[in-house]
């Protein structure tokens, strides 16, 4: 049994929205410590690692570890009904196996929605040695990605100790976006060695756009031709991390 | 079991043209397959995930499959489409692109048969507004983990292009060898298939329970029985001889053969090819609900389009208006159907498939309550060539294709899924199509019913025979009259009504109303046929038969300029018949 109360309806909604970028059916783990989800998109190109310790919640009751799978876009529809300062309470009705979504504020309403068969798949976190670590504003990243998107459907991210460069090459046009270390957008940059890797913009754009709603600062980590880790810093103790597998660009 | 094992066998099957080799490959695959998923493997080899009669299909359009491939390979859809132009095969293109993937994925896992099947199943069941996205995502997920070869067969399967050319019979052979103990057990296995139409179920029962399980196979309401088929002959002598001198001859209606499964109020209709066509015929279902008196039954009928005004049968083509997804309500009104019942295969717990035909027909008669639109197929039992021939001509003239002549012998069982000599089609070799209109004399009429109550339902029309100065009947026409025509007809004809047949009219048919032969109307028919009942040109073509016009339609022209003696002559009709007589080429 569990009952979770969230005071910040907007944050919960934005979080659900960020997760829904990659997956439809989301299997959450609820333990006495908090709420967790780690999942891959069906094509196994991207991964999301989300965690909200119980301290994030206004109220957190969980008697025993539970797995719950729900259709995240359906949940999102309900969450969108909540106003900014309203309180959302999630609870599992053990008799019916349905999730109760209670929104209270101006008035009270309770929705119920079905839970699905939980995925048994344990998704491990990728073990990668990253050579580059960059801390940037999510706004700066967004701008860079939107620039790149104008000319291509993928982008090469390169870094040395001076700058972080986004290089996009389309059939006709090209774009180079440079973020200098210490600039407004790029707060910090460390590179053990110059590195570069290419990523699909369709994933990258959606991830960055959705996650920026929850966070102002992101840490990027990558190595040459390896997956990239995007850690979106959360105001409270929560965690929202994405991994994205690279593309191989043959000459 | 890994999907790659199946893909390897597919590849070998594709490379062979020899059926025996194909069978051997299948035997190998079936033996290797764990018993609990053998049904799934059998469906997959057929490019399906369920038996044919289950309506669900994976149903992914090529465009969407390309989208999923673009996703999984990290390539642009335009690049893939370009390659498709070269290969012409979505499978081969998938193989190329998965082999040269741009997008790396996390934790690639080998595909199991279970996962592939379950994903296909999820794709088939996806519905609602997000269904397309769900299908694409699921397919992309499979492709992400697929080897190039696996990708080829996955793509072909989801787009309905697997086409390995493995016939049902080859699967039955392979099953008998792999699990039945040898090819000689094939007959038993085949019977199980013929009464269930479900290769997967047969495979599973055979693999898990052996031949004993197969022997226990029963007809089940809801599982279509593979239809019994007929041989064909074109002379009544040969037919009677083949059937032991006696047969039950039935009208062979020009409609769609349906197998109706009734379980209480729930009725499912299957086509001859075992597709569920219930949605096309809600009216037929309603009729069966009322007129089949058994609680549970499997019966066969011919579903025929009828003229909503006259109740006359219309040609088969008219039923095509019912092959639609939308607007079936309207089509039902414009193209109503009648049902002509001809067999009962199962009634209230009793499997009749091994009973002789006369017993089945009798059982059918006992559970069908006939009505305006549900009738037993018109039949005679005969041992006489002439009677058979006349019944045949009558059938043709009434809009049927010919006759179905059925054995009455003790061994005249329902041979599910087989074409045999227990049933023989008697169809025409020749037909004479009509290209010109004719002007015919109105000599009689029949009272209308239903919508046409109070006016005439059809007119009896005759051609003029100048030698004898008589009018010889050639057709009964109720089609082509507007509501206005119908309203006016009794008024127009009133002055010509006489209490009995006119002495100059030669008719074997009793009309409800007789007229003086005065009025001439223009008619167009589909063809001219030999007739046992019309007197036009009697004995001219064949002794004992006249000529008749099939599917006549009033063109709307009253030939007021013509006297009855100016009508088309019987001689002209004979000439038309002979000029247009052509051998029928079966398509």
- Is A196 a residue whose pLDDT tops 70? yes
d(CA A33, CA B185): 63
Q: Report which of B161, B213, B203, B159 is spatially closest to residue B43, judged by C-alpha positions.
A: B203
Query: Does the structural domain A2-114 have CATH classification 3.40.50.300?
Result: no
- Of the candidates B76, B104, B140, the beta carbon closest to that of A42 is on B140
For residue A157, name the pLDDT band (cuts at 50, 70, 90).
Answer: very high
The contacts found for B57-63 with CB under 8 angstroms, 24 or more apart, are B57/B124, B57/B160, B58/B120, B58/B123, B58/B124, B58/B157, B58/B158, B58/B160, B59/B123, B59/B124, B59/B160, B60/B123, B60/B135, B60/B139, B60/B158, B60/B159, B61/B159, B62/B90, B62/B159
Residues of A with Cβ-Cβ distance to B71 under 8 angstroms = 43
d(CA B447, CA B476): 12
* B252 in catalytic set: yes
Asked if B130 reaches chain A (Cβ–Cβ under 8 Å), the answer is yes
Asked if A45 reaches chain B (Cβ–Cβ under 8 Å), the answer is yes
pTM value surpassing 0.90: no
Task: Tell me if domain A2-114 and domain A132-244 are identical in fold.
Answer: yes
Q: Average pLDDT for consecutive 10-residue bins of chain B (587 residues)?
A: 95 91 95 95 94 87 93 90 93 94 86 95 87 90 93 95 88 94 90 94 95 91 94 91 95 94 95 91 95 96 88 83 81 89 96 95 96 94 94 91 95 92 90 90 90 87 96 94 86 91 95 94 92 93 92 91 94 92 74
Residue bearing tokens 């019912």: B322
d(CA B364, CA B408): 15
Contact, B307 vs B246, CB < 8 A?
no
- β-partners of residue B582 are B431
Asked if A24 reaches chain B (Cβ–Cβ under 8 Å), the answer is yes
Residue range A76-90: mean pLDDT, rounded: 91
Q: Do the bridges between strand B505-506 and strand B470-477 make them parallel or antiparallel, or are there none, so unpaired?
A: parallel
Residues of A with Cβ-Cβ distance to B134 under 8 angstroms = 24
pLDDT of residue B431: 83
pLDDT of residue A25: 87
Count of residues for chain B? 587
Contact, B230 vs B189, CB < 8 A?
no
3-class DSSP state of B446: strand
Q: Which of residues 60-119 of A touch B (CB under 8 A)?
A: 73
Q: Do the bridges between strand B438-447 and strand B520-524 make them parallel or antiparallel, or are there none, so unpaired?
A: antiparallel
Q: Where in chain B is the domain with CATH 3.30.470.30?
A: 229-430
d(CA A10, CA A214): 9
Query: CATH assignment of A132-244?
Result: 3.70.10.10
Residues of B with Cβ-Cβ distance to A73 under 8 angstroms = 130
Could you tell me which residues come within 8 angstroms of residue B586 by beta carbon, excluding any fewer than 6 positions away?
Answer: none
Could you tell me which residues come within 8 angstroms of residue A228 by beta carbon, excluding any fewer than 6 positions away?
Answer: A157, A197, A199, A220, A221, A222, A243, A244, A246
Report the top-level CATH class of B437-586: mainly beta
d(CA A163, CA A168): 16
d(CA A162, CA B317): 78
Contact, B577 vs B541, CB < 8 A?
yes
What distances in angstroms separate CA B334 from CA A228, B306, B314, B556, one per listed residue? 64, 9, 12, 20
DSSP string, A1-20: -EEEEES-HHHHHHHHHHHH
pLDDT of residue A251: 44
Q: In the structure encoding, which two tokens stand for residue B561, read together?
A: 């300029």
Other CB atoms closer than 10 Å to residue B304's CB: what's the count? Answer: 25
3-class DSSP state of B38: helix
Give φ, ψ of B158 to 5 degrees: -70, -25
Domain boundaries, chain A: 2-114, 132-244
Give φ, ψ of B275 to 5 degrees: -85, 145
Q: Is the dihedral of CA A51, A55, A58, A64 positive or negative?
A: positive
pLDDT of residue B319: 86
Count of residues for chain A? 251
A40 membership: H or E segment, kind and range: strand A34-40
Q: Is the dihedral of CA A147, A151, A154, A156 positive or negative?
A: negative
pLDDT of residue B391: 95
Is residue B107 left, alpha or beta, with left meaning phi > 0 and alpha meaning psi from -120 to 50? left
The distance of A223 to chain B (nearest Cα, Å) reads 14
Degrees, nearest 5: CA angle B354-B303-B401? 90
Q: Which of residues 76-115 of B touch A (CB under 8 A)?
A: 76, 100-108
DSSP strands (E only) in B185-336: 229-233, 247-252, 256-263, 266-270, 296-305
Q: What ipTM is given for this predicted complex?
A: 0.83
Q: Which fold has domain B229-430?
A: D-amino Acid Aminotransferase; Chain A, domain 1 (3.30.470)
The distance of B112 to chain A (nearest Cα, Å) reads 15
pLDDT of residue B386: 93
Yes or no, beta carbons of A44 and B141 under 8 Å apart: yes
- Of the candidates A245, A247, A248, the beta carbon closest to that of B106 is on A245
């Amino acid at each position: 049994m569990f009952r979770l109360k969230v005071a910040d309806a907007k944050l919960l909604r934005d979080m659900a929205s960020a997760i829904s970028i990659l997956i439809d059916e989301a299997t959450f783990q609820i333990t006495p410590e908090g709420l967790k989800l780690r999942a891959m998109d069906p094509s196994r190109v991207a991964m999301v690692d989300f965690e909200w310790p119980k301290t994030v919640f206004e109220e957190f009751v969980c008697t025993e570890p539970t797995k719950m799978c729900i259709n995240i876009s359906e949940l999102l529809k309900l969450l969108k009904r909540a106003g900014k300062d309203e309180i959302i309470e999630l609870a599992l009705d053990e008799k019916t196996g349905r999730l109760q979504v209670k929104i209270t504020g101006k008035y009270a309403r309770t929705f119920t929605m079905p839970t699905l068969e939980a995925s048994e798949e344990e998704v491990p976190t990728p073990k990668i040695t990253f050579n580059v670590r960059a801390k940037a504003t999510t706004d700066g990243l967004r701008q860079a990605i939107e620039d790149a998107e104008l000319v291509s459907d993928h982008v090469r991210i390169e870094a040395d100790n001076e700058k972080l460069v986004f290089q996009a090459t389309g059939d006709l046009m090209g774009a180079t976006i440079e973020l200098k270390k210490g600039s407004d957008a790029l707060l910090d940059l460390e590179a053990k060695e110059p590195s570069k890797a290419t990523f699909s913009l369709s994933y990258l754009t959606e991830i960055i756009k959705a996650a920026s709603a929850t966070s102002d600062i992101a840490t990027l980590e990558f190595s040459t031709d390896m997956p990239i880790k995007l850690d979106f810093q959360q105001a409270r103790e929560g965690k929202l991390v994405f991994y994205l597998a690279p593309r191989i660009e043959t000459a | 079991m890994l999907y790659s094992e199946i893909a390897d066998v597919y590849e070998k099957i594709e490379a062979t043209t020899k059926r025996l080799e194909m069978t051997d490959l299948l035997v190998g695959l079936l033996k290797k397959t764990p018993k609990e998923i053998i049904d799934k493997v059998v469906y997959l080899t057929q490019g399906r995930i369920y038996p044919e009669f289950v309506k669900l299909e994976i149903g992914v359009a090529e465009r969407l499959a390309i989208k999923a491939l673009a996703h999984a390979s990290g390539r642009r859809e335009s690049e893939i489409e370009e390659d498709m132009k070269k290969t012409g095969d979505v499978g081969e293109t998938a193989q190329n692109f998965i082999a040269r993937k741009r997008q790396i994925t996390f934790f690639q896992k080998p595909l199991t048969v279970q996962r592939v099947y379950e994903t296909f199943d999820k794709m088939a069941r996806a519905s609602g507004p997000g269904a397309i996205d769900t299908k694409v995502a699921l397919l992309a997920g499979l492709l992400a983990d697929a080897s190039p070869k696996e990708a080829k067969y996955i793509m072909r399967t989801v787009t309905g292009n697997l086409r390995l050319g493995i016939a049902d019979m080859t699967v039955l052979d392979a099953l008998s060898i792999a699990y039945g103990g040898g090819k000689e057990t094939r007959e038993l296995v085949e019977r199980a298939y013929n009464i269930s139409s479900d290769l997967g179920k047969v495979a599973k029962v055979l693999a898990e329970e052996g031949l004993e399980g197969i022997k226990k196979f029963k007809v089940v309401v809801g599982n279509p029985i593979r239809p019994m088929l007929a041989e064909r002959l074109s002379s009544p002598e040969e037919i009677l001889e083949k059937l032991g001198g006696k047969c039950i001859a039935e009208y062979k209606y020009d409609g769609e053969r349906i197998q109706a499964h009734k379980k209480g109020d729930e009725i499912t209709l299957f086509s001859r090819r075992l597709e569920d066509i219930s949605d096309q015929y809600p009216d037929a279902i309603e009729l069966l609900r009322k007129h089949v008196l058994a609680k549970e039954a499997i019966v066969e009928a011919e579903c025929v389009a009828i003229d909503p005004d006259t109740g006359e049968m219309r040609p088969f083509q008219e039923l095509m208006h019912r092959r639609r997804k939308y607007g079936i309500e309207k089509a039902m009104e414009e193209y109503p159907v009648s049902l002509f019942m001809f067999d009962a295969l199962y009634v209230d717990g009793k499997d009749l498939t091994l009973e002789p035909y006369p017993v089945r027909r009798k059982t059918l008669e006992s559970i069908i309550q006939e009505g305006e639109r549900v009738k037993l197929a018109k039949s005679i039992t005969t041992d006489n060539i002439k009677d058979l021939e006349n019944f045949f001509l009558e059938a043709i003239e009434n809009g049927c294709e010919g006759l179905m002549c059925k054995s009455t012998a003790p061994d005249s069982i329902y041979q599910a899924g087989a074409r045999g000599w227990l049933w023989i089609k008697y169809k025409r070799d020749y037909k004479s199509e009509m290209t010109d209109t004719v002007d015919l004399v109105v000599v009689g009429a029949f009272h209308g019913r239903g919508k046409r109550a109070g006016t005439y339902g059809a007119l009896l029309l005759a051609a003029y025979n100048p030698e004898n100065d008589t009018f010889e009947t050639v057709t009964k026409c109720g089609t082509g009259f507007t509501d206005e025509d119908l309203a006016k007809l009794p008024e127009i004809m009133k002055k010509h009504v006489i209490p009995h047949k006119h002495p100059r009219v030669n008719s074997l048919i009793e009309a409800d109303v007789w007229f003086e032969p005065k009025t001439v109307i223009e008619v167009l028919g589909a063809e001219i046929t030999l007739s046992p009942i019309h007197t036009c040109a009697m004995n001219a073509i064949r002794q004992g038969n006249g000529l008749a016009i099939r599917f006549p339609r009033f063109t709307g022209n009253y030939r007021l300029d013509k006297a009855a003696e100016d009508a088309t002559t019987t001689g002209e009709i004979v000439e038309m018949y002979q000029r247009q007589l052509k051998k029928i080429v079966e398509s």
